[in-house]
Every structure is written in C-alpha cells, then in structure tokens.
Amino acid sequence: MTGELRLQHSGDPPLPHQHLAILLDGNRELRFIDIRKFGRLRLLDQEGLTALDRSLGPEPLDASALTPMAFYERLQMRKRAIKTLLLDQSFLAGVGNIYADEALFLAGIHPLRAASSLSTDEAAGLLSAIRSILSASIAHHGTTLRDYRDGLGNSGENQHHLRIYHLREGDPCTRCGTGISRIVVGQRGTKYCSVCQPLQIPEQD
C-alpha cells in the first residue's frame, strides 16, 4: 500500500522506515521501505513460489490468460459487490483501490453492483477499462499521492491523470458535473458518480 523497493548504493545511509537491505552485485543494495508496516517478506523455494502463484488471480494485462469472456464467466460466479471483488487478489491480481475506482468510473459501473449482474458487454468494458487504467499508470511511472516512489526514488506522474479518485465528496464529476459521492466498500473509501455509474441494472436487449 505504501511500501517500496529502492535501489541504492551500499554506502548510502539508511532510509527512513527502512526494514531490510539486500546486498547486490556492483556495490548496490535493494532496500525495503514500509512506512505503514503492511508489507510482508517471504523466502520461498520453487514449491512455495508455485503455491503463491496459484493463490493469485490472473494478471489483467495478460490478454492470453484473461479474455473478456473468461472475465465475464468469472464474474458470473460471484455475487459480491464488484468493487470488493476487484480488490480481491485471488480473483484478479494487481488492482488496488485507486485503480478499481478509476476503472469502474471509466466503465460506468457502480461499485456496489453485484459482480454477477454485469452483462457480457459490461464485463468486456470493465476489463478494457482496467487494462487502460493500469497501462496508463505504468506509462506515467505510478501514482504518487503521498509516499509512493519508484525504484530510483522518483515520484510518479499518474496522479495528474486521475479521473475520480483524487476528487472530494461533492466535487463535480469530470464527465457530467454531478457532485461526486463517497461511500465505504469493503472497508475502503470509494468515489463514484451517481449519474455516470447508476446502481440499477440496465435492461437487456
């Protein structure tokens, strides 16, 4: 959530909130910094690594591992709120709170919609939105709202491209101008637009 891996010269002084330094070749260290102490470190053999891989959902940017129809079929087996499900790493790997809100807004889907209520078109649109949001964040070197830095200690730029997460409750929607709503979903603060992301299920043709 706020942890980071930083590449430093081994002679550099310890960084604030540094919990581990791994000595590398070339007089360098890989340092683990974790302000909120949510991070965990594991030393795994091949069997443990395989078990860890099996515990994670598919990688959303891997088009061969997750097709729109496969994503739809996975959603059909879940009745949980779609926002909660997107944050479940056993369902889909790599989507955090910021990117879940951004993807749901881009796809026009209310965060409390039951996952199984999404149509094939909505599922395909949501998967496309997730991929677009994640790809943009990678291109912009991550989202720095407070603490995030990349491996070289540089801030990201994606925060300047957010559509909804950065807004306060009541701020105008960037698409329609309606005041943004804020609720808590799965113990996470969640922003959405009640007009662009209606809760009711659209009628099927």
Instruction: Give per-residue pLDDT as tens, 28-63.
Output: 999 999 888 888 888 889 998 888 888 899 999 999
Q: What is the pLDDT of residue 157?
A: 76
pLDDT > 90 in the chain, percent: 65
The pTM for the full model equals 0.82
pLDDT tops 70 at residue 202: no
Residue 205's pLDDT band (boundaries 50, 70, 90)? very low
3-state secondary structure the chain: CCCEEEEEECCCCCCCCEEEEEEECCCEEEEEECCCCCCCCCCCCHHHHHHHHHHCCCCCCCCCCCCHHHHHHHHHCCCCEHHHHHCCCCCCCCCCHHHHHHHHHHHCCCCCCEHHHCCHHHHHHHHHHHHHHHHHHHHCCCCCCCCCCCCCCCCCCHHHHCCCCCCCCCCECCCCCCECEEEEECCEEEEECCCCCCCCCCCCC
Q: Which residue has the higher pLDDT, 49 or 149?
A: 49
The ranges assigned to domains in the chain are 1-41, 58-192
Query: Contact at 8 Å (CB) between 118 and 201?
Result: no
pLDDT tops 60 at residue 2: yes
**Which residue, among 188, 168, 189, has the nearest Cα to 179 in the 3D structure?**
168
Which residue, chain included where needed, has tokens 């590449």?
7
The tokens of 88 are what?
């479940």
Class for the domain spanning 58-192? mainly alpha
82-116 tens-digit pLDDT: 999 999 999 999 999 999 999 999 999 999 999 99
Q: From CA 82, how far away is CA 112, in angstroms rounded?
A: 6
Q: From CA 12, how far away is CA 21, in angstroms rounded?
A: 11
